[in-house]
Structure 1
Amino acid sequence: MSYVYLDNAATTPLCAEAIAAMAPYMDVEGEHFGNANSLYTIGRNAFAELESARETVTRALHASRPDEIVFTSGATESDNAALVGLSLAQMEKRRLKGKLNPGRIVVSRLEHHAVLHVEPMLKALGFAVDFVGNDETGLVTPADLEAVLCEDTVLVSIMMANNEVGIVEPVAELAQVAHKAGALFHTDATQAAGKVPIDLKGMGVDAASFSAHKINGPKGVGVLYLKAGTPFMPYLVGGGQERGMRSGTQNVMGAAGAAAAFKRAAENVGVYQTRVAQLRDYAYERLCKLPGVSRMVEASAENPDGYLPNIVCVSVRGWESESLILRMDLAGYCVSGGSACSSNSLDPSHVLAAMGVDRKRALGMLRLSLSLETTQEDIDGAVEALGTIISK
């Protein structure tokens, strides 16, 4: 059975560019298997290839220099490392100044669990964790952030774009507010890469997290951007790889594939903002004509265009996400929902709860996430399939 894949916010298929970049490393008779930290020729070649990948990612993300790019195992590690590593470094700076209080960390309630679930660890280390408010669309404003900052705030982490409802936060403005209060600023930009322009220099953030598999690169490869001079205590220690920022023998093949994917994503961001955004709007128009289907979040007057071009998030009255996902699967369409399906939880999405969405409405969330390969025919077919399901 063939499937129409409409869950690109979860993962994406490998693009041809990433496959081509990784192919030499799968040649059993080739010379691309070397450890990038070895001194002999094969090792030096691997190191050169790793640094070439780093330079490509630097250009794609508009970082200032290649040594600001740290390769990781994915966005989860990047998020964990950023929150713990930046916080510990800030705590040490405060200790040297005679401040025994480790400090406070501010995050939003809309964050991915890779950020939210770091809270117990931070608290165990002595930090306090505060939550910044948001409006009913998920927007966090500079005023919202300013309201929770204090002289003890050492780090703020607010995602650039939300994976469920597609809200894009004003990261550059939020970073300015954090810096004015003397805090560092990290953003989880995993969902934003390739969908909206990424200019790390212009955004003014101190750290940012990315994942290759969200932009048609390989799974198990991520990027942690650390602005030059940003205090950071390594999360993984050992051999001192990645300039001591992330120990462990580097995945050169994965880095090569990731770099190709980041380059492709940066080159195609304009297409996402035009053609894919048009498909998104078309999908909303078609879906919301079905009985009981409504857009989960209406555009905010303060932020009318601040949504990812590929996220379609609706509520289906009288249905639960799990049932819809399974029935759509039987019809040949891969989509996702807001409930914690993997844990058999009947609780609604934490994102929707933070936005004040009614529990019953949140339980009926259905998300379609589009790609460059998505067609209008794919949308039409998905709408027809959903219409058939909810009419029974």
Structure 2
Amino acid sequence: MMRGIYMDWNATAPLRPAALAAMSAALAEFGNASSVHAFGRRARAWIDQAREEVAALVGARASLVTFTSGGTEANNLALLSRGARPLVTTAIEHESVLKPARLAGAEVARVARSGEIDVAHLSYLIDRASDRAGKPAFVSVMLANNETGVIQPVAEIARLAHTKGALVHCDATQAVGRVPVDINELGVDYMTLSAHKLGGPQGAGALILGDDLPVEPLVIGGGQERNRRAGTENVAAIAGFGAAAKEARALHDMDRIADLRDHLEDRLVSFGQPVTVFGRNVPRLPNTTCFASGTKTSETLVMALDLSGIAISAGSACSSGKVRPSHVISAMGFDAATAGSAIRVSLGWQNDIADIDSFIAAWGRVQRAGPARSDAADAHISAA
């Protein structure tokens, strides 16, 4: 059976061989990591080693790493830990931030057409939220957008927020392993990571603290994870997370992958239709391109390319079963038709130039099957 070409690494990355090896070895340990006997200590050793590797990935202290079931739980855990502080976030966050933010009545900052957060508006909202609540705010901003790849000015935001007494949470799940990430250089107080975005297993993540700050457990009933998350740890998944984190520190192949992305974008224009590449003129993840030509809906494009053996996505993978106009592209100020035709191609270390050529060939077939194309003389790529 043909496995096809995988270009959806922002949804999940293939499991690294080192992660698989660590998980297989950890699965052979059947002791409970909370037990004090030798069996339990061997299981605990896998968790301790992984905690060190995940901490090293972002320059954190191992004691401030709390393992979770993934990025969504870590985001929820961070937001819950704000206590009575009013919440301020942005319109382009992942749904695991936006949905609890809506329930909390959060202030939501706008973004520019480039996909970058409007820092001045965010600053205004921090002041307004703090004044209304009578206490400093809690700010949640992502480091790199999962759809456009646009990298946000998180260090600037953290400095600004701290002058106002606010705490800052950063969802860094898409950035780690693709660009350098250091929790101290960013200056954030809470940081979310997810194992499967960097070649670890699905079902493991972490909330990392910049300092010894409060964490309000979502799950209670035991003293695991320094009383920050109750429940028997998933030793094998955590071991795989640690192994993947160790390899991800090298940022292997990212320059080559960026060249592949740029080559793909340059070739899109050859089909005679104007193409909008979102965030092309601002800092982006090296592996991510999000674009729209307006000729077909996102859903049609994802399905048509899948039939050609190429896996891409539209919007967040968490909602891929219900393709709808991208809330990120809409927040950037584009109309519904553009937001409803945007797709994301995200690359990784297994992709090569032959994959790009195959994508372009399949893209051409899809475009020729659609409505009449624009005059080739008018074709261009615009950077949004």
- Structure 1 residue aligned with 2:205: 222
Q: Displacement of 1:134 after TM fit?
A: 1.3
SS at match of 2:356: helix
SS at match of 1:158: strand
Q: Displacement of 1:289 after TM fit?
A: 2.4
Q: How far apart are the structure 1 equivalents of 2:13 and 2:280?
A: 27
SS at match of 1:187: strand
Q: How far apart are the structure 2 equivalents of 1:183 and 1:231?
A: 14
Match of 1:279 among 252, 257, 260: 260
Q: Is the 8 A contact 1:72 1:223 kept in 2?
A: yes
- Structure 2 residue aligned with 1:244: 227
Q: How far apart are the structure 1 equivalents of 2:269 and 2:227?
A: 51
Q: Displacement of 1:26 after TM fit?
A: 3.3
Within-5 A mapping of 1:250-261: 250-261=233-244
- Structure 1 residue aligned with 2:98: 116
- Structure 2 residue aligned with 1:83: 79
Within-5 A mapping of 1:34-53: 34-53=31-50
**1:288-344 CA distances to partner (integer Å, 9 max, x unpaired)?**
3223251332434xxx3x10101111112220111111111111101112395523x
Q: Does 1:297 align with 2:278?
A: yes
- Structure 2 residue aligned with 1:3: 4
Q: Is the 8 A contact 1:288 1:295 kept in 2?
A: no
Q: Does 1:356 align with 2:333?
A: yes
Paired letter, 1:184 = L
Q: Does 1:342 align with 2:321?
A: yes
Q: Is the 8 A contact 1:296 1:365 kept in 2?
A: no
- Structure 2 residue aligned with 1:104: 86
Paired letter, 2:63 = D
Unpaired runs of 5+ in structure 1? 92-102, 123-127
- Structure 2 residue aligned with 1:95: none
Q: How far apart are the structure 1 equivalents of 2:279 and 2:146?
A: 16
Paired letter, 1:138 = G
SS at match of 2:270: coil
Q: How far apart are the structure 2 equivalents of 1:195 and 1:289?
A: 29
Q: Quickly say closer, same or farther: Cα 1:353–1:135, change in 2 above 3 A.
A: same
- Structure 2 residue aligned with 1:178: 161
Q: Quickly say closer, same or farther: Cα 1:338–1:23, change in 2 above 3 A.
A: closer
SS at match of 2:137: strand
Q: Displacement of 1:47 after TM fit?
A: 1.4
Match of 1:59 among 56, 80, 86: 56
Within-5 A mapping of 1:157-168: 157-168=140-151
RMSD: 1.6
Aligned residues between the structures: 360
Q: Does 1:385 align with 2:362?
A: yes
- Structure 2 residue aligned with 1:72: 68
Q: Is the 8 A contact 2:55 2:62 kept in 1?
A: yes
- Structure 1 residue aligned with 2:287: 310
Q: Displacement of 1:208 after TM fit?
A: 0.7
Q: How far apart are the structure 1 equivalents of 2:216 and 2:320?
A: 35
Q: Quickly say closer, same or farther: Cα 1:259–1:22, change in 2 above 3 A.
A: same
**1:231-279 CA distances to partner (integer Å, 9 max, x unpaired)?**
2222221101000011111111111100111111111x1531x111111
**1:22-66 CA distances to partner (integer Å, 9 max, x unpaired)?**
111334xxxx11111011111112112211110111112211x11
Q: Quickly say closer, same or farther: Cα 1:382–1:51, change in 2 above 3 A.
A: same
Q: How far apart are the structure 2 equivalents of 1:17 and 1:284?
A: 32
Q: Is the 8 A contact 1:293 1:314 kept in 2?
A: no
Q: How far apart are the structure 2 equivalents of 1:62 and 1:111?
A: 24
Paired letter, 2:154 = V
SS at match of 2:321: helix
Q: How far apart are the structure 2 equivalents of 1:384 and 1:321?
A: 18
- Structure 1 residue aligned with 2:377: none
Q: How far apart are the structure 1 equivalents of 2:190 and 2:76?
A: 12
Q: Does 1:23 align with 2:20?
A: no
**1:155-186 CA distances to partner (integer Å, 9 max, x unpaired)?**
00000000111100011111111111111000
Q: Quickly say closer, same or farther: Cα 1:308–1:60, change in 2 above 3 A.
A: same
Q: Using structure 1 for the length normalisation, give the TM-score.
A: 0.88
Taking every aligned residue pair, what percent have the same amino acid on both sides?
Answer: 39
Greater mean alpha carbon deviation, residues 130-139 or residues 230-239 = 230-239
Q: Displacement of 1:194 after TM fit?
A: 0.6
Q: Displacement of 1:144 after TM fit?
A: 3.0
SS at match of 2:175: coil
SS at match of 1:134: coil
